[in-house]
Structure 1
Amino acid sequence: MTEVRALWRHPIKGHGREPLTSVRLTSGQAMPGDRLWAVALDIARLADGEWGPCVNFSRGSKTGAIMAINARLDEASETVTLTHPDRPDLTFRPDHDPAAFLDWVRPLMPPEGTQPSRLMRLDGRGFTDTDYPSVSLLNLASNADLADKMGVPVSPLRWRCNIHLDGLAPWAEFDLIGQRLRIGSAEMTVREPIRRCLATTANPETGLRDLDTLAALNTNWDHQDFGIYAEVTQGGEITLGDQIEVL
């Protein structure tokens, strides 16, 4: 039996994660509140309301320190609270006070790199890493297998996935590509594997790069894919403990 063990969203792309107990998905959209905002770099050339690839944004592959951010989104007030072990807590409204966020996050950025310049918002589809609205799924058994090969604990939070699955065989998630899934009352089609970057080498508690996850994937499995992307085809509710059915 395969079931949902955890649900996560990331209100500001690359800048914090938030656990959920349930979520209502909508066909053709990302998880509500997931990557609703993104931190554009000073090199970005994107118009408001326009999706763009991750190269335009501040992210953990360039700045490991931001991987230690936790987030909480109050949907009613559209207020976000961020915490980090090296920064004071910050509560702000991204659409109304982006300067407060930029001042808060800049000390975590390497001074020699490109700098964050503004917050952008994209409703519905969010600033996913895919050019289509996606939801990401992680197989906890694959994470455990990787940890066993590396000989150290590997937090599943390194992978920044939305839905953590328990009960699959290790690496069986890749067999789901092209399949339709029903999770709770929602349905989705699995589109592709997730190719991983340097963000996963940073510890989600400290932000320090302490594990070479990419080398471990390439050495043991000859690829650096971890997790899968899916597209929601039928909206519905997903709750912790829901079972996954292949249609």
Structure 2
Amino acid sequence: MTGRLAQICRHPIKGHGRETLASVRLLAGECLPWDRHWAVAHEAAQLEPGWNPCVNFARGAKAPDLMAITSVLDEATATVTLRHPAQGEITLRPDDPADLPRFLDWVRPLNPQSRAQPARFVTAGRGMTDSDFPSVAILSAASLADLSARMGHDLSPHRWRGNLWLDGAAPWAEFDWIGREIRIGQAVLRIEERITRCTATQVNPDSGKTDADTLSALEAAFGHQDFGVYATVIAGGMVATGDEWSLT
């Protein structure tokens, strides 16, 4: 089975924006570079050193308006520009404590007042993905098209916060790839497990408003709430949109 890499996305600040890339160099044993490099811990977070589970962070599952943020990262200066249709634009360095108050003022209206409020940026020395191992999320355009057709709703890829979107696979074939290796461009990844989804996928990433019950649709059609797979990079290399992928 072969196909083409359709899209590359990263999310420099977990839950706060997505960015589409033309190419990226994957590194063995690591997340997609700069993906979830920072996360926004809320005031009730109970953090351990290093990686922490998503319950400690502000995110789209609890604050749907966050899903409408887009981002642009300047890697050389570790500066992120965030844009939101209601809040406008802000440019900041998450590692600079002086920028935190501005960010909190900007993002606070996007967080329900009934929830624990965003408090500070944290890093982990690896991407703060939802998996407890450094992962890259691989998703299938055919599976998205199939679910969209079943729901009668054109679902944006950005609902799913994936990293690598593949064209050319049969719908839902990726669930049969667990334990197999896939070559994408110059890199090789091992497919590890399915991704079980949360209510963030019910949110329109253009508006930040809930408008599609993706979880019920998955449950009704397949008896689960899984979409996409987590992979680990076992051989690094450049990948670019349009690159061929193949199972090995």
TM-score range, shorter chain: over 0.9
Q: Match for 2:228: what amino acid? A: G
CA deviations on 1:161-211 (whole Å, 9 max, x unpaired) are: 000000100000111111011111111100000000000000000000000
For residues 130 and 186 of structure 1, the distance between their equivalents in structure 2, rounded to whole angstroms, comes to: 20
**Residue 59 of structure 1 aligns with which residue?**
59
The two structures have a TM-score, normalised by structure 2, of 0.97
Q: Match for 2:168: what amino acid? A: G
For residues 61 and 88 of structure 1, the distance between their equivalents in structure 2, rounded to whole angstroms, comes to: 22
For residues 156 and 88 of structure 1, the distance between their equivalents in structure 2, rounded to whole angstroms, comes to: 23
For residues 168 and 103 of structure 2, the distance between their equivalents in structure 1, rounded to whole angstroms, comes to: 39
CA deviations on 1:38-68 (whole Å, 9 max, x unpaired) are: 0001111225x51100011111110110000
**Residue 88 of structure 1 aligns with which residue?**
88
Q: How does 1:123-138 map to 2 (within 5 A)?
A: 123=125, 125-138=126-139
For residues 207 and 40 of structure 1, the distance between their equivalents in structure 2, rounded to whole angstroms, comes to: 20
Q: Match for 2:94: what amino acid? A: P
- The answer to whether the aligner puts 1:184 opposite 2:185 as a matched pair is yes
For residues 39 and 101 of structure 2, the distance between their equivalents in structure 1, rounded to whole angstroms, comes to: 14
Q: Match for 2:4: what amino acid? A: E
Q: Match for 1:192: what amino acid? A: E
How many residue pairs align between the two structures? 245
For structure 1, list consecutive stretches of 5 or more residues without a partner in the other structure.
none
Q: How does 1:159-238 map to 2 (within 5 A)?
A: 159-238=160-239
The structural deviation recorded for 1:122 is 2.4
Q: Match for 2:119: what amino acid? A: S
**Residue 71 of structure 1 aligns with which residue?**
71
For residues 9 and 179 of structure 1, the distance between their equivalents in structure 2, rounded to whole angstroms, comes to: 24
**Residue 106 of structure 1 aligns with which residue?**
108
> Identity over aligned residues, as a percent?
53
Q: Match for 1:143: what amino acid? A: L
For residues 214 and 180 of structure 1, the distance between their equivalents in structure 2, rounded to whole angstroms, comes to: 28
**Residue 11 of structure 2 aligns with which residue?**
10
For residues 154 and 246 of structure 2, the distance between their equivalents in structure 1, rounded to whole angstroms, comes to: 29
**Moved segments of 4+, more than 2 Å:** none
For residues 37 and 12 of structure 2, the distance between their equivalents in structure 1, rounded to whole angstroms, comes to: 6
State the Cα RMSD in Å. Answer: 0.9
- Look up the SS of the partner of 2:91 in the other structure: strand
- Look up the SS of the partner of 1:2 in the other structure: strand
